[in-house]
Structure 1
Amino acid sequence: MNQPVSDPISEPLRFSAEHRWQRAHDAELRLMAVHAHPDDESSKGAATLARYSDEGVGVLVVSCTGGERGDILNKKFVDAEVDMPSLRLREMARAAEILGVAHLWLGYQDSGYHEGDPDTWELPPDCFGALPIDAEVETLVRAIRQFRPHVMTTYDENGGYPHPDHIRCHEISVAAFEAAGDPDRFPDAGEPWTPQKLYYNGGFSAKRMTAINDAVKEATGVGPFDEWVARMKENNRPDRSDRITTRIPIGDFFDRRDQALLAHETQIDPDSHWFAVPREIEAHVWGTDDYELAQSRVPVTLPEDDMFAGIREPARALDGSDR
């Protein structure tokens, strides 16, 4: 697995990326956040990543695909010659620098967005969602065995929302979490390592979005998420609120989260509803990033406010070998 350095990235960012990689790899506690595309890390749990990185935890974001088939979603973005793969490499580099995290491309091609029943999707050949899953699991297992995370995060069984890359991201993350510590699985992928906890991102629950929207509307007269909340009700999408086990206080990291999101300038309109929420209101109403503890190999007491609860002291013995 190569260090996360790429030619389109400027020299200052390259140096910073190498420094962050080494710092994350050498940290006593380590967190791996597995995402489908660049920008997912900034819209789902970014403040958590910034907080833990600032506390000295080694944080590695893994992007399964390069987001090559993404559209220009920011109408204010103007570029006469759009080279989407290179643009998204540079955007991800800037976001990782802002969050203070290391980054790794897993190396697969974006599957593109598809609507309707998954059985009707016609995926491009050789994309992430269409390739044999065992080879993809092995690639992630190799990354786990090199970085040796104590905690992993990914999406739930629905992918957070029904995108083929998000669903496949869930599938390989769960499979790799289970296989990485087994010496009989993928013996050529490095020395076995057993992560201790696996979390699902839970940030876009209907309860959270409604609470923030109602508070902003009461204060300003305008509900920035009115359409979103209405769509949630119309689609009758299951609300994950009742599955939340872990709430990480991140009110002091909203600015870093927002700046990381804005770094993905092809995807994010700086005047969108994302940024219409006064942060002091958000911090008061919902100042946490929320997660579901999906698997734990250490004793836990729920609810939690720390992903490393039950790990911090045992980690010293667990990581006693030279790396």
Structure 2
Amino acid sequence: MTDRRLLLVHAHPDDETINTGAAMARYVAEGAHVTLVTCTLGEEGEVIPPELAHLEGDPELGEYRAKELVEALRALGVDDHRYLGYRDSGMMGAASNDDASAFWGADVDEAAARLVTVIREVRPQVLVTYDANGYYGHPDHIQAHRVSVRAFDLAADPAFRPEDGEPWQVAKFYFTATAKSVMRRDAEALADSGTGFLVEDPGDLPFGSADDEITTEVDARPWLVNKLDAMRAHATQITVKAPFFALSNNIGQRAAGVEHFILYRGAMGKAIPGAPVEAGGIGEPYTRENDLFSGID
């Protein structure tokens, strides 16, 4: 297949790089059309560098993070980017959840209609977003899941807003994921890294999937350097001490060059027997797809 089109829906600037940056860079390099939809500007994000601390809570933070995203996407090679047009809701339970323009409170059908317009224009074979928990429970991530699921169905419905383009059925729909076994191994490596990042027991973190839940493993290690450069571009949110990084909580994580996904809708492609690889894989042989486009004609 020479005309591959991948659409990713992420909640805030930096999510695209942390969760899927290596795969995005790989598919761009291989000639696929990669489109990113970012739901908010990340206005409620915390700011790490002391010299930029004045931006935290400032209306200008969203504009600043938008500029960081431009640089991050340049590092990944992605040149098709859209905003869904909502405001960052902040962490669950924050007062900002109730802001009239916050994504968390948006009407799902209205937000999905905006995404349907993009889907019908781009006509991707593959759609990627988060699982029902939003990967780790952030309200904007949960809402991105809800909106993407709704848009997946509506985009293919010829009765839904025909003025917004011809119906389009996305062939495969994935959720981002990280194998718990990989998280455990990376935590052990982090403890010996001397980075000064905090080491958290993966069992205590609100994300991570069992190894047998992972359906797809994309090996994009040659593009890990692009992912790390994109992380550095998100300087308000990410501290990089390669190959590790930390967010504002200073809990270290490894920047993965092998990224995991769970197929939610669509048919599994060819299953590839695998074995553990550096920065990815599990501790025992497994069988997974190795390409998000696997099985698509």
Q: Which TM-score band (shorter chain)? A: 0.7 to 0.9
SS of the residue corresponding to residue 92 of structure 1 reads helix
Give 1:244's aligned residue: 214
SS of the residue corresponding to residue 265 of structure 2 reads strand
TM-score (norm 2): 0.81
Alignment RMSD: 2.7
* One-letter identity of the residue aligned with 2:125: H
Residue 270 (str. 1) matches residue 245 (str. 2): no
Give 2:154's aligned residue: 179
Give 1:8's aligned residue: none
Give 1:212's aligned residue: 186
Unaligned runs of 5+ in 2: 247-253, 272-287
SS of the residue corresponding to residue 45 of structure 1 reads helix
Q: How does 1:180-195 map to 2 (within 5 A)?
A: 180-195=155-170
Q: Does the 8 A contact of 2:97 with 2:104 survive in 1?
A: no
Work out the number of aligned pairs and report it. 269
* One-letter identity of the residue aligned with 2:199: E
Give 1:309's aligned residue: 294
TM-score (norm 1): 0.75
Q: How does 1:102-121 map to 2 (within 5 A)?
A: 102-115=80-93
* One-letter identity of the residue aligned with 1:186: R
Q: How many angstroms apart in 1 are the aligned matches of 2:86 and 2:260?
A: 28
Comparing 250-259 with 233-242, greater Cα deviation is found at 233-242
Residue 163 (str. 1) matches residue 138 (str. 2): yes
Q: How many angstroms apart in 2 are the aligned matches of 1:236 and 1:35?
A: 18
Residue 84 (str. 1) matches residue 61 (str. 2): yes
SS of the residue corresponding to residue 227 of structure 1 reads coil
Q: Which of residues 46, 57, 60 in structure 2 aligns to 1:71?
A: 46
* One-letter identity of the residue aligned with 1:214: E
Change (3 A) 1:212 1:299: closer
Give 1:46's aligned residue: 21
Give 1:93's aligned residue: 70
Comparing 62-71 with 132-141, greater Cα deviation is found at 62-71
Q: CA deviation at 1:288?
A: 1.5
Q: CA deviation at 1:196?
A: 0.6
Q: How many angstroms apart in 2 are the aligned matches of 1:236 and 1:88?
A: 25
Unaligned runs of 5+ in 1: 1-26, 277-281, 315-323
Residue 227 (str. 1) matches residue 202 (str. 2): no
Change (3 A) 1:143 1:245: same
Give 1:300's aligned residue: 269
Say which structure is richer in helix: 1
Q: CA deviation at 1:170?
A: 0.4
Q: CA deviation at 1:200?
A: 0.5
Say which structure is richer in strand: 2
* One-letter identity of the residue aligned with 2:289: E
Q: Does the 8 A contact of 1:152 with 1:197 survive in 2?
A: yes
Identity %: 35
